[in-house]
Amino acid sequence: MTTALSVVMLLVLSSLAGSKVAGIREWGQANALAIIALLLFASRGVLPDLLSIEVANALYLGTIALMYAGFRRHLGLPVPRGLLLGGALAALAGVVVFHHLAESLAMRVVSVSCYHAAVYFAIFATLRGRVDGRLRYPFAFTRSAALVLGIGHAVRGAFHAVEAYAPVSLLEPSTANLVFLAIGTLALPALTLGAVMMANARVISETAYAADHDHLTGAPSRRAFFAIAERELARAQRHAGGLGLLLVDADHFKRINDTYGHGVGDQVLRDLAERTREAIRKIDHFARLGGEEFAVLLPDAGLEAARAVAERLRAALDRSAAATPSGHGVTYTVSIGLAMLEEGDTFASLMARADAALYAAKAGGRNMVVCAEGTGLGYT
Ligand SMILES: Nc1nc2c(ncn2[C@@H]2O[C@H](COP(=O)(O)OP(=O)(O)OP(=O)(O)O)[C@@H](O)[C@H]2O)c(=O)[nH]1
């Protein structure tokens, strides 16, 4: 059953192979190794004992170690290779000793269970930090599975160690053995299922982030900004509060690109985004609308406050020097169009007024703030 489940898990993991999520490779290797190990275990009596006991156990210890390594890599944590290898070799030494020197199935089980329990508890400990959102359930599931498996293996080891239960065969149909067998059977599939859920949640989160953020500057994207703006507009209209919109556009940006190259142009855009984030209030929303055009939404702001923010921003960017790879600072300026939310406005009409104001700022000589007509809702 575990072999079949490992094959299924391997197929599921393969579907995520192109996602570049860290850990997938180790989890895949773990399941591939498990398939070989379990087939060797199942060949007991058919193949030589060396293969069905020592080699099979060695491979299965490697399976568990790889699962742990996968979780560590997934979380960007270092993998304690020495510890994993040392522990696995100690467990394997136990298997060899209690096979050849002092034949004892129970003590072989103790050796292997100790390693399993230790690694499962280590997985539990690794996943203990707080996570939010989409990752919450996959983490909780995997953490719980690791804890149950760790306890199961610890109890199994203890049972065999005190010889309260010493099976003649690992397939003996006693209640305790059935429980242990179920734990052993479900361990790898349960952990792999958790791993797949974690990887999936990571892919979904990264995709959602990429859709809502601009790759170059890290600022929210046009799509995210419009969604936020609709919410803020509805809120401002409900409370008759002020809402200002700034459209910020780098001046003669084509010239910067043409003179210094696209790489420096990109650096200027990053610099602009960074300085803008520093110049605005915490409650303001900043986004890159596209190209060299950015927007700032100012909730709870009257005309004078919005004008002050716009002027402060323009001044902060005025001939500020973006560091370039060559070490030279490239100076630039911005033009800003400001519009305040008016009675009966939609976001499109607010944008259109801010756009017209920006156009006027460009036409008026650039490096200036131009306010659209009107004084805005709730503030006179
Ligand atoms: N480096 C870089 N350039 C970009 C990016 N997106 C758009 N551009 C360039 O931005 C330039 C915009 O040029 P224009 O629309 O003519 O505007 P401008 O030169 O800033 O002139 P004004 O706005 O009138 O002051 C174009 O050359 C685009 O190729 C980007 O992500 N990186």
Model confidence pLDDT, tens digit, residues 86-115: 999 999 999 999 998 988 888 998 999 999
| Average pLDDT value over all residues in the chain | 90
Please name the residue whose Cα sits nearest to atom 6 of ligand 1.
291
Choosing from 292, 314, 324 the residue with most ligand 1 atoms within 8 A of its CB, the one to mutate for a pocket test is 292
Residues at CB less than 6 angstroms from ligand 1: 216, 249-255, 257, 262, 265-266, 269, 291-292, 362, 366
314 alpha carbon to ligand 1 midpoint, in Å?
18
What is the model's pLDDT at position 216? 95
| Whether 153 and 65 share a structural domain | yes
- Per the structure block, which two tokens stand in for 29? 């290797």
Residue type, 5: L
Return the ligand 1 atom nearest residue 256 CA.
19
Return the ligand 1 atom nearest residue 262 CA.
1
251 alpha carbon to ligand 1 midpoint, in Å?
9
| ipTM confidence | 0.94
Count of other CB atoms within 10 angstroms of residue 254: 11
Residues 236-280 have pLDDT tens digits of: 988 878 999 999 999 999 999 999 999 999 999 999 999 999 989
| Whether 235 and 180 share a structural domain | no
For residue 380, name the pLDDT band (cuts at 50, 70, 90). Answer: very low
| Whether 82 and 208 share a structural domain | yes
What contacts 121, CB < 8 A, 6 or more positions away?
Answer: 146, 147, 150
Mark which of 149, 181, 212 sits at the end of a domain.
212
| Whether 334 and 284 share a structural domain | yes
Structural domain harbouring 323: 222-371
Return the ligand 1 atom nearest residue 335 CA.
25
Give the residue from 74, 69, 41, 70 showing the smallest Cα distance to 56.
41
| Residue 190: strand, helix, or coil | helix
| Whether 237 and 201 share a structural domain | no
| Residue 241: strand, helix, or coil | coil
| Whether 278 and 319 share a structural domain | yes
For residue 176, name the pLDDT band (cuts at 50, 70, 90). Answer: confident
pTM of the model: 0.73
Distance CA 293, CA 284 (A): 17
Return the ligand 1 atom nearest residue 251 CA.
25
User: Domains in the chain: how many in total?
Assistant: 2
What CATH number has the domain bearing residue 249? 3.30.70.270
User: Percentage of the chain with pLDDT > 90?
Assistant: 71
335 alpha carbon to ligand 1 midpoint, in Å?
13
